[in-house]
A and B are shown apart, each in its own frame.
Chain A
Amino acid sequence: MSQNIKLKKGFDINLAGKAEKKIAELSQPETFAMKPSDFVGMSRAKLLVKEGDTVKAGSPIMIDKQVEDVMYCSPVSGEIAEVVRGAKRKVLEIRILADKEIEFESFEKHSDVSGLSKEAAIDQMKKSGVWTNIIQRPYGVVASPQDTPKAIFISAFDTHPLAPDTNFILEGYAKYYEAGIEVLSKLTEGKVHINVNSDTAEFLKSNKAQINTVSGPHPAGNVGVQIHHIDPINKGEVAWTVAPYGVAQIGKLFLEGKYDASKIIALTGSEVKAPQYYKTYSGACVNKLLDGTTNGGNERFISGNPLTGNQINSTGYLGHYHNQVTVIPEGDYYEFFGWITPTTKKLSMHRAFGLLSFLGGKNKEYVLDTNTRGQHRAFVQTGSFEKVVPMDVLPTHLIKAILAEDYDDMEGLGIYEVIEEDLALCEFIDVSKNDIQSILREGIDLVKNS
């Protein structure tokens, strides 16, 4: 039975710099990189290549020491240029100097995926690099092939600030997407859920899955919020989530026999001259992308969206799961009486005195910088987190339970149901300026490793 979920809680951050639906030419960057840190929860990366080796797109680059049969594969073909290591020789980046013409490892092709067995499907996915698209809940880590999930969830829309339009970036992928859904439906005993909103294109609504409609402000597009309302995760249960791009990538692997890491990414943000889409590959160096496209000045480059993304420098690399690069102004300036001056330029969910942002109306676009707008303080304000988390969890108490390292309370209060992105808005609106997302990850690591 498909479900219709209407969410009231949440907050849309309406930023300036949305990408225009147009794919611009991009001269491909020379280097691409795989970063073990993109794969949350990876225990220890073990390299399968060394500097100087040549690889094809789909050649294994590294594995996780704990799950040795899942391959993390190269997005492009070329030569391993450099392995960047940090403290204790921890691998930070594996840089690949790309060929002009990408060569692909060839995997088995299937003209019809319906006849494929579950074991054969898993085997091919593990070998080819597409397995990393499957994220396990609880914990939000790359799924273990040994598990059988109770259901698989796909959120077909993204409500993050400045998020790229899923319909647009998957245009022309309908065949692969459909095949991907068919393959995924073999992996679970339960259902495959595709959660859509009113704007979702028809080709994303596969009839092989259950279609649920979700409406409301951000975080309505977060798959964690959707799972909570459709079929919540309890202790001991495992569900899997896949992003729509991942579904198409899985489908393409079986239909065409190759690991195609090409993706359409959006360059967004108030400092971008003409925010639009570009075609590149996972792990691309952003130097070519940012060359001449931004206003210059003191800018922050973010791989991903401004709410959950990571800061990178102008020669950094696109995160494995990101399909967006955002450029916003740095906020490292002092502001005379900045905390009290009345203004309509700053955005706040709270309507506290002097902050007139609500006068701008719902559609006003804001230019936000990276200033923290205040310093860290004790928890004082209550009730505001609850306004932006449309789930039956008590975020304030969950965060406090994590800070107190109270395992029973963390479990009881629903730590299995959330990952960073679900509480990202709490971090945004927090009056006391706590780093809620990193606190939550500490809590998840505690229960995961206990």
Chain B
Amino acid sequence: MKFIEDIFAKVRPNFEKGGKWEKFYYIYEAHETLLLAPNSTTGATGAQIRDAIDMKRMMMTVIIAMVPCLLFGIWNAGYQHYLAIGEVAALGDILLTGAILVVPIIIVSYAVGLGIEFTFATIRKHEVNEGFLVTGMLIPLVMPASIPLWQVGLATAFAVIIGKEVFGGTGMNILNVALTARAFLYFAYPSQISGDVWSFIGEGNTAVAAFSGATPLAIGAAAVEGTEPMVSMLNNSWSEGLFDFWNMFIGIMPGSIGETSTLMCLIGAAILIFTGVGSWKIIFSVFAGAFAMGTLCNVFGANEYMLLPAHYHLVIGGLAFGAVFMASDPVTAAQTETGKWIYGFLIGILTVIIRVFNPAYPEGIMLAILLMNVFAPLIDYYVVAANKKRRLKRATV
């Protein structure tokens, strides 16, 4: 690939100090380092050799882990469309329809987000960090396929500027950026993102009788007020078998693009854990916390939602996606190893509490993670204080 090196070598002087496009050096550098791993070498003192991993590779691993969710989401978007209009379609048609719905959302998310990242890098004169590569994919995956594109753009801009750049950029943010985008839409434009989120492409199509875009979480919210057991409400949906346990586990149901399939999230989790990029402690403890709280709710059983078997909580809504891709975000999660257990477990507990006790917010995991993002430094503070205390105890002075 010598000719690529030559091209960059030719253009490089223009962007270096004194060159005519000096201001845009970091934008140039971001592109160069993407194609060519840089020629920088270690310093004269300290470690003369370095581990092969870098931030790009780490972030790319997370994107790879999201691919199963993305592909399934595209298929599911198409499938739900044809299910709603009562047609049986070939796989190609399903994927095409799904892609028409999903791909523009991804393009808008990356275009807006990277545009802002490049602008900030130029103004601040720092390298373009790779964090947005992951965020840009996470945002589409937590949106319903029916979301208007201008809302995606607006939410991305809000999340990147207010959620990240005001704190100093990648590595400095307090709240998970992708969830900030979702929370923004959730509070600013609730009708497009909650409740009956899923719809078919309306033009020229009519939905089958009794069609409803309700997600299991919306049904759960209704169950709080009702008297019918929630499991039977789920089983009596407009399409047979849509909300039975294994179908929800596989994810063939309405919901946000990447969130519906617990199975795909678990494949992603396996990739993250095997490569060591995601913390298995956080992922596992979120599930454990949700299951524990679900079981506790069963014991009290004050309403029909509380009586929902605990394992259902693990497959409805975005719990699995949140646990695998959002809670384990290393920047906003607890950073101590002990802290990670506590952090994940509390997210699981809070998710179920928010779902069951506060039906105004059907999606519990989003609020639970954002809340625990804020408390993560506090958890770390106590874990670190315990470490200091151990050291102080053995001191004599």
Number of interface residues of B (CB under 8 A): 64
CB < 8 Å neighbour of A372 from B50, B61, B274: B50
Interface assignment of A377: CB less than 8 Å from any CB of chain B = yes
| Contact yes or no, A382 B335, CB < 8 A | yes
Residues of B within 8 A of A311 (CB): 43-45, 48
Q: Which of A1-44 contact B (CB under 8 A)?
A: 13, 15
In the complex, what's the smallest C-beta–C-beta distance from B385 to chain A, in angstroms? Answer: 8
| Contact yes or no, A412 B392, CB < 8 A | yes
Listed residue (A334, A379, A396, A428) with the most chain B CB atoms within 10 angstroms of its CB: A334
The contact string, 1 if C-beta is below 8 Å from chain B, for chain A 341-375, is 00000111111111101000000000011111111
In the complex, what's the smallest C-beta–C-beta distance from A127 to chain B, in angstroms? Answer: 31
| Contact yes or no, B394 A232, CB < 8 A | yes
| Contact yes or no, B64 A335, CB < 8 A | no
CB < 8 Å neighbour of B37 from A308, A337, A396: A337
Residues of B within 8 A of A372 (CB): 38, 40-42, 50
Interface of A is mostly: loop
Q: Which of B169-186 contact A (CB under 8 A)?
A: 169-172
| Contact yes or no, B58 A236, CB < 8 A | no
Listed residue (A237, A311, A349, A392) with the most chain B CB atoms within 10 angstroms of its CB: A311
| Contact yes or no, B337 A386, CB < 8 A | yes
Residues of A within 8 A of B271 (CB): 353
| Contact yes or no, A352 B170, CB < 8 A | no
| Contact yes or no, B48 A375, CB < 8 A | no
| Contact yes or no, B39 A373, CB < 8 A | no
Interface assignment of A378: CB less than 8 Å from any CB of chain B = yes
CB < 8 Å neighbour of B330 from A357, A380, A392, A428: A380
The segment from A184-192, A430-438, A442-450 found at the interface with B is A430-438
Residue of A nearest to B36 (CB): A334
Residues of A within 8 A of B171 (CB): 377-380, 432
Bound Cα distance A308, B340 (Å) = 32
Residues of B within 8 A of A339 (CB): 33, 37, 54, 56-57, 60
Residues of B within 8 A of A332 (CB): 39-41
Q: Which of B184-239 contact A (CB under 8 A)?
A: none
Residues of B within 8 A of A46 (CB): none
CB < 8 Å neighbour of A432 from B5, B55, B394: B55
| Contact yes or no, A352 B58, CB < 8 A | yes
Residue of B nearest to A236 (CB): B397
Residues of A within 8 A of B275 (CB): 350-353
Bound Cα distance A350, B52 (Å) = 9
Residues of B within 8 A of A13 (CB): 49
Interface assignment of B388: CB less than 8 Å from any CB of chain A = yes
| Contact yes or no, B41 A371, CB < 8 A | yes
Residues of A within 8 A of B53 (CB): 348-350, 352, 355, 373-374, 429, 431
Residues of B within 8 A of A382 (CB): 279, 330, 333, 335
| Contact yes or no, A351 B52, CB < 8 A | no
Bound Cα distance A374, B336 (Å) = 25
Residues of A within 8 A of B330 (CB): 380-383
In the complex, what's the smallest C-beta–C-beta distance from B247 to chain A, in angstroms? Answer: 31
Interface assignment of B11: CB less than 8 Å from any CB of chain A = no
| Contact yes or no, A355 B55, CB < 8 A | no
The contact string, 1 if C-beta is below 8 Å from chain B, for chain A 41-52, is 000000000000
Q: List 23 A-B contacts (CB under 8 A).
A: A13-B49, A300-B41, A307-B47, A326-B48, A331-B42, A334-B5, A336-B4, A339-B37, A340-B57, A350-B277, A352-B277, A355-B52, A371-B40, A372-B41, A373-B53, A375-B40, A377-B127, A380-B170, A382-B330, A383-B279, A383-B330, A383-B340, A424-B47
What are the 6 A-B residue pairs with the smallest beta carbon separation, nearest first? A374-B54, A338-B37, A378-B171, A346-B52, A336-B1, A412-B388
